[in-house]
Amino acid sequence: MDILKSFSLEGKIALVTGASYGIGFAIASAYAQAGATIVFNDIKQELVDKGMEAYRAAGIEAHGYVCDVTDEAKVQEFIAQVEKEVGVIDILVNNAGIIKRIPMTEMSAEDFRKVVDVDLNAPFIVSKAVIPSMIKKGHGKIINICSMMSELGRETVSAYAAAKGGLKMLTRNIASEYGEYNIQCNGIGPGYIATPQTAPLREIQPDGSRHPFDQFIIAKTPAARWGNPEDLMGPAVFLASDASDFVNGHILYVDGGILAYIGKQP
Ligand code: NAP
Ligand code: GCO
């Protein structure tokens, strides 16, 4: 076995959802470096344009599309269009996600549903759309972007935690249901990563001090820092490559050690 070759994505087509920037962009860039053709979508044309510019600047020829991943009919059309214009998807990363930080008793059922729709229903919808062609092709990799909240709870993120906990179990179920077709479905559980999604938790305070949540995360993380989207590149390539062909239904936490640690005594 050529071990380095087993990590290569040469000749593969990878779709990363919501990948104009942030974690999705970093993962797609890693896949391009490993040899894959990149397809991404985002919810608005401006975001896709911004993403296309960022990929071009990184020397990557990506294929960008507008598609709301919560709309099943649109997703089916989108996947059919990708298959026609680019080819059958070998690797799907369900990355698009949202969070609403609202205390549960103040949260409307509509807001709760919206979060579950993007963070849980959409990975079901997109996976369902790609699995039949993966079965025909004889292989496939699905990677669901989970969270610390797939394991832990905290104030204000009830909908997000419910959705990401559900996504962990959807991951295991896809692995169980389609493993026999040589489809591996795994999750990545990022720790606290510095992206626009977590920017409000890192805002410098009026007196110039760090946000209390920022200080809390540093104390909770053995690595004593926030993660960067780049920290997810190696694990994402591993789970997309032949090197992980017997890894199925696993959630790989990339968290600087948060889940192993009780936290620093104040
Ligand atoms: P982000 O910066 O908010 O990026 C998510 C992308 O998904 C955005 O481009 C967003 O568009 C897009 N999107 C939202 N709803 C969509 C829809 N219905 N259809 C298509 N695209 C949609 O988030 P991130 O921090 O890079 O996070 C990426 C993933 O990692 C998410 O699933 C998130 O929950 C997860 N995650 C993040 C962290 C972290 O610390 N940052 C940690 C663990 C897990 P808009 O800009 O219009 O919203
Ligand atoms: C929060 C954060 C988290 C992270 C991430 C942790 O408010 O606690 O936004 O939910 O985004 O998912 O893994």
Ligand 2 pocket, residue 100 CB under 6 Å: no
Ligand 2 pocket, residue 188 CB under 6 Å: no
Ligand 2 pocket, residue 191 CB under 6 Å: yes
Residue 56 in any domain: the answer is: yes
What's the CATH number where 124 sits? 3.40.50.720
How many Å lie between the centroid of ligand 2 and the Cα of residue 204?
A: 18
Above 90 in pLDDT, residue 222? yes
Question: Is 160 one of the catalytic residues?
Answer: yes
Domain encompassing residue 151: 5-193+228-260
How many Å lie between the centroid of ligand 1 and the Cα of residue 245?
A: 27
Quote the pTM value. 0.98
Residue 218 in any domain: the answer is: no
Q: How far is CA 60 from CA 33, 57, 133, 137, in A?
A: 9, 7, 25, 26
Residue 170 in any domain: the answer is: yes
Task: Write out pLDDT tens, residues 240-264.
Answer: 999 999 999 999 999 999 999 999 8
Q: How many domains does the chain have?
A: 1
Q: How confident is the model at residue 7 (pLDDT cuts 50, 70, 90)?
A: very high
Above 90 in pLDDT, residue 94? yes
Residue 246 in any domain: the answer is: yes
How many Å lie between the centroid of ligand 2 and the Cα of residue 192?
A: 6
Ligand 1 pocket, residue 96 CB under 6 Å: yes
Sign for the CA dihedral angle at 72, 106, 160, 29 comes to: positive
Residue 162 in any domain: the answer is: yes
Relative to beta strand 91-94, strand 140-145 is parallel
- Which tokens sit at 120? 């849980």
Ligand 2 pocket, residue 22 CB under 6 Å: no
Which ligand 2 atom is nearest residue 191's CA? 13
Residue 214 in any domain: the answer is: no
Question: Looking at residue 110, what is its pLDDT?
Answer: 98
Residue whose CA is at the smallest distance from ligand 1 atom 46: 47
How many Å lie between the centroid of ligand 2 and the Cα of residue 243?
A: 29
Residue 145 in any domain: the answer is: yes
Catalytic residue among 31, 55, 65, 160: 160
Residue 216 in any domain: the answer is: no
Mean pLDDT of 220-238: 97
Question: Looking at residue 264, what is its pLDDT?
Answer: 83
Q: How confident is the model at residue 72 (pLDDT cuts 50, 70, 90)?
A: very high
Ligand 2 pocket, residue 99 CB under 6 Å: yes
How many Å lie between the centroid of ligand 1 and the Cα of residue 95?
A: 6
